[in-house]
């Protein structure tokens, strides 16, 4: 009979490695199994419960939960640690919900769970922790393609920016996935994102509601991402925001702000200037402004003021409004009629050229309708059609 050393050499030649038992009777592999189970036991001692799965859990709890399921599933492991199972952890069936490989060690498991260990390879010291869902969200945000029909969406982004500038829309911290609906705008990764489509809602592997989206970005790209991926990206991005729906809220309200007054007046003027362009279009050239004081007093020095074209003006309409933010309201009106702004260059009394900014080639009827739509909050559903000289649905 060949001695043991010769058998070992023969097995080695055949590619078989033997694990020798330590003095305690366990191989190194078995010792690792026992040590892993003892880690789980310490967790239970500390927290009073078994470790649980879930992306919202501590990364080590998730690791222990996967490890415990593996032990429960393996007859070899169960037999090895049964005698030290003082907490009855083996009495319950596996509850695994993290679908990871069956033959991964702790370091590989951590990698699957989104963890990058430090150079020391000490898994108790983590440099960066990301869940698998976070990794997937980041990949979906980054994995974009060119938007072939971006011409459809480009005007929407331009209008949203105008609305933000005018105070018709605002940005708010993102809070709930319920805010992710078709037609909503967000800011993620420094870019505006528009939810163009939202598919049927379904339950994902973690038992949570999700849906496939078509998200268009203002740089002309798009992504077919999951709703929860966008949600995660918005939560993770410190500058991630949602853009509110358009409303007249910022202009009218119950809370008095620094720039709010008890009442204000939108006024519409016609100039008595003898400038050829003004004289030829006097009935449709109007100055639109907002004041918190008396309109007559506002135009008393018109002849000496370039704002009034160095000429007297007559008041043709006024609209009284309450608790308004004057600056925002005036900006809104001027942006709304910007396409019809009077393109006129004049010279002041010193011969210095200037261009008036508050005069518009707009009939009074269109101004009347615009003010009414500001009052009822529907102004954002319309635009000013210069060709027809009237308001038109967007």
Tens of pLDDT along 22-66? 445 678 778 878 888 888 898 888 888 888 887 667 777 788 888
CA distance 184 to 196: 8
Q: Contact, 270 vs 314, CB < 8 A?
A: yes
Question: What's the Cα-to-Cα distance from 121 to each of 16, 61, 124, 127, 295, rounded to whole Å?
Answer: 28, 19, 9, 10, 75
Look at residue 33 in the predicted model and tell me its pLDDT: 81
Burial of residue 193, with CB atoms counted within 10 A of its CB: 0-12 exposed, 13-18 middle, 19 or more buried: buried
Q: What confidence category does residue 157 fall into, taking pLDDT thresholds of 50, 70 and 90?
A: very high
List residues bridging with 348 in a β-sheet.
Answer: none
Three-state DSSP at 346 gives strand
Nearest to 285 by CA among 305, 319, 314: 314
Q: Which two tokens stand for residue 392?
A: 């038109």
DSSP assignment of 262-314 equals EEEEEEEEEE----HHHHHTTTTEEEEEEESS-HHHHTTTGGG-GGGTTS-EE
Answer yes or no: pTM beyond 0.75. Answer: no
pLDDT of res. 117: 43
Q: Are 170 and 185 in contact (CB under 8 A)?
A: no
Q: Could you tell me which of 167, 172, 200, 204 has the C-alpha nearest to residue 185? A: 172
Q: Is the pLDDT of residue 76 over 90?
A: no
Whole-angstrom distance, CA of residue 381 vs CA of residue 124: 56
Q: What is the dihedral of CA 250, 231, 207, 226, to 10 degrees?
A: 120
How crowded is the C-beta side of 21, counted as CA atoms within 13 Å?
A: 4
Q: Indicate the range of 65-79, 122-136, 380-394 predicted with least confidence.
A: 122-136
pLDDT tens digits along 218-277: 999 999 988 888 888 888 888 888 888 765 444 444 444 444 444 578 899 999 988 888
Over the chain, what is the mean pLDDT? Answer: 76
């Amino acid at each position: 009979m060949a001695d043991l050393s010769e058998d070992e050499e023969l097995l080695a030649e055949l590619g078989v490695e033997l694990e020798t038992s330590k003095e305690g009777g366990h191989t190194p592999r078995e010792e690792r199994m026992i040590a892993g189970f003892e880690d789980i036991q310490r967790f239970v001692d500390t927290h009073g419960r078994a470790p649980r799965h879930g992306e919202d859990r501590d990364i080590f709890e998730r690791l222990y939960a996967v490890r415990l399921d593996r032990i429960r599933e393996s007859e070899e492991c169960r037999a090895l640690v049964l005698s030290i199972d003082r907490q009855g952890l083996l009495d319950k069936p596996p509850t695994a919900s993290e679908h990871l490989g069956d033959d991964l060690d702790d370091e590989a498991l951590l990698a699957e769970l989104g963890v990058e260990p430090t150079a020391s390879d000490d898994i108790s010291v983590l440099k960066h922790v990301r869940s698998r869902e976070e990794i997937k969200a980041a990949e979906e945000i980054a994995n974009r393609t060119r938007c072939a029909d971006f011409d459809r969406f480009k005007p929407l982004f331009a209008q949203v920016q105008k609305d933000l500038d005018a105070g018709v829309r605002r940005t708010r911290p993102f809070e709930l996935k319920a805010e992710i609906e078709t037609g909503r705008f967000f800011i993620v990764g420094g870019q505006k994102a528009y939810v163009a489509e939202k598919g049927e809602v379904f339950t994902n592997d973690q038992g949570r509601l999700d849906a496939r989206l078509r998200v268009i970005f203002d740089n002309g790209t798009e992504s077919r991402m999951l709703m929860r991926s966008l949600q995660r990206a918005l939560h993770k991005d410190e500058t991630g925001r949602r853009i509110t729906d358009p409303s007249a809220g910022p202009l009218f309200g119950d809370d008095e702000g620094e720039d709010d007054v008890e009442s204000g007046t939108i006024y519409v003027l016609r100039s008595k200037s003898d400038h050829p362009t003004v004289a030829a279009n006097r009935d449709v050239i109007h100055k639109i402004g907002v004041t918190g004081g008396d309109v007559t007093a506002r135009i008393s020095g018109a002849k000496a003021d370039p704002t009034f074209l160095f000429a007297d003006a007559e008041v043709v309409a006024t609209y009284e409004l309450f608790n308004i933010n004057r600056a925002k309201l005036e900006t809104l009106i001027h942006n709304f009629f910007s396409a019809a702004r009077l393109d006129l260059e004049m010279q002041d009394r010193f011969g210095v050229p200037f261009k008036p900014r508050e005069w518009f080639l707009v009939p009074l009827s269109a101004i009347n309708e615009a003010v009414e739509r500001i009052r009822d909050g529907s102004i954002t559903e319309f635009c000013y059609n210069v060709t027809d000289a009237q308001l038109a649905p967007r």
